[in-house]
Structure 1
Amino acid sequence: MKLKIKLLPYENLKKYEFNSLFKDLKDDTIILVDAKLKSEEEAQLIKETMKKVSEKFSGIELSSLELSSENNINLFGKLKKSFVEMLIGKKRGLTLIGPAKIIRKIRKNPEHLMLYT
């Protein structure tokens, strides 16, 4: 089986309908979004996925990674980061969404995501 990966800008995810997203996932495509999904967006995606689970579609694996390291950021830096996120409407990061039958496990470290098929 060939591995298919679709790179999807976060702005397009907002316009992308769930049916289109699930069509790609059912076609064994892994979707990589260029931002960290908000917890509400992840919850909505999981909720919609649960409606689509069947013998042919076993669900999804989902993991997000925030790219900004807050360890060395002072108060001004945190305020600046929050302001920029509010303006552009997305968090710096990556989100990996894939069919559960292909992705066995996603291991998340603070600095990277590891995908096991």
Structure 2
Amino acid sequence: MKENETGIEITLEIVCGKWKGLILWKLLHEKPMRFNQLRREIDGEISSRILSRELRKLTDDGLIERIDYEMVPPKVEYRITPYGKTTASFLTSMNEWGLEHKRMSTSRKEMARLINK
């Protein structure tokens, strides 16, 4: 980390990007999930390689944990940690802002369409 790095920079580094926020959001609102279940639940096309990388980063940062049941066939689940739950407030705010932005954007487009008729 840089010496005079802002909290925003640190937060964006840890939980943002195309997939990390979605992974955290799903695990905040679901029971522990297996890898393929999580992959199916995430909207969009995320490759196994990318999901694996992002899960590893979130695990290394202490936001989620990997539970290995050490059985055959292998069973591994991922769940949010108590520390990971601290992301809930700002992820909820981001979700609400995004939905409001979508509504406003749709309204502006609809208004423009009506005006241009």
TM-score per shorter chain, which class?
under 0.3
TM-score (norm 1): 0.27
Structure with greater contact order relative to length (CA < 8 Å, sep ≥ 6):
1
TM-score for both structures, normalised by structure 2: 0.27
* Higher relative strand content: 1
Q: Which has the larger radius of gyration?
A: 2
Could you say which structure has the higher helix fraction? 2
